[in-house]
Chain A
Amino acid sequence: MSTDIWLGWTYFILCALFALVGALATISSANPIRGAMGLLMMILSIAGLYLSLHAQFLAAIQLIVYAGAIVVLFLFVIMLLGPSAQAPSDSRARFPRAIGAGLFLLLGAGVVSWLVMLGQHISKETARLAAAGTWKPATVPSDFGGIDAFGKELFTKTLVPFELSSALLLVAVIGAIAVARSKHGDGAEKALPTAAALTEATPKEEASV
């Protein structure tokens, strides 16, 4: 294989590996700040993956919106909450959780090995077809992934979904306000329920289900 293909592979593997490590850190660290940092690492690696797909604009947006705005917002909230952001360790249902994790790992391993086999099959197939001359790699237009090509696509071909997404964003905003806003003039309104209150409130009749 030529050098640029090797370079591409190495770049992809590195980005993918960092994304996985970041994702694992996000869900496994008890310290929420570390979790947010793991998320940041994953977002950066995914932006790197976008770059390898010629999607420069998407990569830039990923950096600005996710890494720049959303992770910072997460950090603000974690800092505001202070020590109460630390979740108390929960030892209930350890056994079913372990079973679930084991099953998921097993399934994941199966899927990954199957995908690897599929990838080998596909590369063999394309090599065979390319040798026979019936297949050549798709060419990317020179302006692909740039902001002008992106905007043109967005406002002509995909205008309908673009307009529909405004409804999605609006409903997300209203939903967030409805959940976050406290009611005026109602003394019964309590503070945000803490994690402990939530666990206590778990319906008792679940045992009968």
Chain B
Amino acid sequence: MNLFFALSPFLTLALGALLLMVAEAAAAGNGRGEKVRPGLALGAALTCFASCAAAAGVWFYGVERIEGLDVLQPWLIIDRFTLFFAGLLALGGGLASLLAGGYLPEHQIERGEFYALLLFSTLGALILAAAGDVLTLFLGLETMSLGVYALTAFRRASPRSAEAALKYFLLGSFAAALLLFGFALLYGATGHTDLAGLGQAVKTIASGALSGQAAGPTTLGAAAGPLVLFGFILVLAGLVFKVSAVPFHMWTPDAYEGAPTPATSFMAVAVKAGAFAVLLRVLLVCFGDKQSTSWANGWPAVIAWIAVLTMTVANLVAGRQESAKRMLAYSSIAHAGYLLVGVVATSRDGTAGTSGILFYLLGYTVATIGAFGGLILAGHRGAEAVSFEDLAGLGRRHPAAALPFALFLLSLAGVPPTAGFFGKWFILKAAMEGGFSVLTVVAFLNSVLGAYYYLKVLVYLYMREPGAGAPIATPMKSGYVNVALAVSAFFVVLIGLDPSRSLSVATRAAASLFGG
């Protein structure tokens, strides 16, 4: 029974997805060969929110008090870090299904599989965040990715959607192969597939390499060092692909643009958060020893360079986009860069850096869902709002549709007092206190640079009028999208006005990663 309680966030999602499939199969036709789908989106969203509530329930009951979780060892780790991500991912999945409930019928591409895929993808992301072994890590990653590939290809009639899905699928499979090869080398060097055992073995090998002695858990001796290094590089490449950081970001703009907008928002939110969860766990549990976290010999310098490249390239290119959806894709790459600054900070003070990342992800999730929701709301059937021109003058004609959009963009830009501001604040603070002052300055300059293209949308919304003959955007009407925007706006403002409460939750979650 304890086991079921601890796993309830996972089981809720799986059960809900299965029920939705049955409901879709049993849905009655309306006589014209079209199925009537009464509230599949509502069901999907409720499943996600129930999973979120289950995670909160386990959190408040106290996951440390639950006994009998040994059977899950070492496959799944249920701790506060996992529960935080379970709540966050389920929230993201729920909001994305609400967006889908408005978007898909409006654009006449609604089919029940969308919601089942979305839920299973969320489940995969949850498994990924909980993975304590390479085997479950890979299963979670693939469950999440396969669902997202199919969601990207969901708009069958559009060649652009097919192209995006094919690119994403091929590159994603390649990245997964790199990841597997890396883990195979790590297994060869250490004889472990569980992350904790891997961490112990890496520590022994690293200390042996430092003292110049042939020390290792296997008979490889000094040869284990290069194997670990090479395996680590491959694993890092695979994970960095999933968080879409430069130089592994090429798929992101195309996949984000080609996918239906609710799927895009899900990719920007859940895939990224799940990948960051596993990146943190692998870096801090497997490679958290003194040698690996030192600036001279370890991963922080590598991650710092990736972070600088990611932020700079993404921000520079985002400003030149003509499509708002593509701009948001580049903005999500830039946010991965800011988050990687937090990852660098974890090498000095693990709890501060990790809690900064978790807090940032919370604010980023609601603001990104909101921004894509705003884009969805601005268009209607046959005239989806994609480019900046489509948004021109929306603020004057339809203030109710433009106002939440503006709020979420301000949060993404990091304007106080929104959630995005405090997210950047905590990450930069952790980086500064860790002694990474140059990196902090670069991240700060980049967030100023990033404000340019968010403000550009605001300029179009409020200070431009559509050109003569240009199509005039009329917002769609959908209760689902309105609810998603309201919930997101509530969280953006709440976290912005009272950051201390969310930060204390994030800190407790981060501390559990370090056995606290």
Contact = CB atoms under 8 A, between A and B. Distances in A.
A165 B75 CA distance: 12
Contacts of B35: 184
B160 A205 contact: no
A179 B153 contact: yes
B433 interface: no
A129 B32 CA distance: 78
B226 to A, nearest CB: 6
B33 A160 contact: no
Contacts of A167: 14, 120, 123-124, 127, 139, 143
Interface core residue of A168, A171, A177 (most chain B CB under 10 Å)? A171
Contacts of A205: 321-323, 326
Interface string B208-247: 0000001000011111001100100000000000000000
Contact of A178 (B123, B140, B150, B166): B150
Nearest to B322: A205
Nearest to B227: A118
Interface string A175-196: 1111101111110111001000
A129 B120 contact: no
A116 to B, nearest CB: 12
Contacts of A118: 223, 226-227
Contacts of A121: 223
Interface string A13-54: 000000000000000000000000000000000000000000
A168 B223 contact: no
B36 interface: no
A185 B33 contact: yes
Contact of B253 (A170, A181, A209): A209
A190 B162 CA distance: 13
Interface stretch (B58-66, B107-115, B372-380, B399-407): B107-115
Nearest to B226: A118
B254 A203 contact: yes
A178 B117 contact: yes
Nearest to B220: A122
A184 B117 contact: no
B34 A184 contact: yes
A161 to B, nearest CB: 5
A93 interface: no
B257 interface: yes
B116 interface: yes
A165 B33 CA distance: 35
Interface string B24-51: 0000000011110000000000000000
B177 interface: no
Contacts, number: 127
A209 B327 CA distance: 11
B8 to A, nearest CB: 15
Nearest to B141: A168
B21 interface: yes
B142 interface: yes
A175 B143 contact: no
B121 interface: yes
A174 B120 CA distance: 10
Which of B162, B166, B219, B226: most chain A CB closer than 10 A?
A: B219
Interface string A194-209: 0001101111010011
Interface string A138-180: 0000000000000000000010110011011011101111110
Contacts of A184: 33-35
B33 A164 contact: no
Interface string B245-283: 000000001100100000000000000000000000000
A9 interface: no
Contact of A168 (B72, B139, B160, B222): B139
Contact of B156 (A168, A183, A200, A203): A183
A126 interface: yes
Contacts of A179: 150, 153-154, 156, 165
A161 B135 CA distance: 7
Contact of B142 (A168, A185, A208): A168
Most B-side CB within 10 Å, residue of A200, A205, A208: A205
B159 A198 contact: yes
Nearest to A206: B254
A121 B189 CA distance: 14
Contact of B154 (A160, A178, A182, A197): A178
A135 interface: yes
Report the 4 A-B pairs with minimum CB-CB distance, sorted nearest first: A175-B150, A178-B113, A201-B159, A160-B75
Interface of B: 14, 21, 32-35, 71-72, 75-76, 108-109, 111, 113-114, 116-117, 120-121, 123-124, 127, 133, 135-136, 139-140, 142-143, 146-147, 149-150, 153-154, 156-157, 159-160, 162-163, 165-166, 214, 219-223, 226-227, 230, 253-254, 257, 317, 320-323, 326
Given A158-B75, A209-B317, 11 more contacts: A118-B227, A135-B219, A168-B143, A170-B120, A174-B113, A174-B117, A182-B156, A190-B157, A198-B159, A200-B159, A205-B322
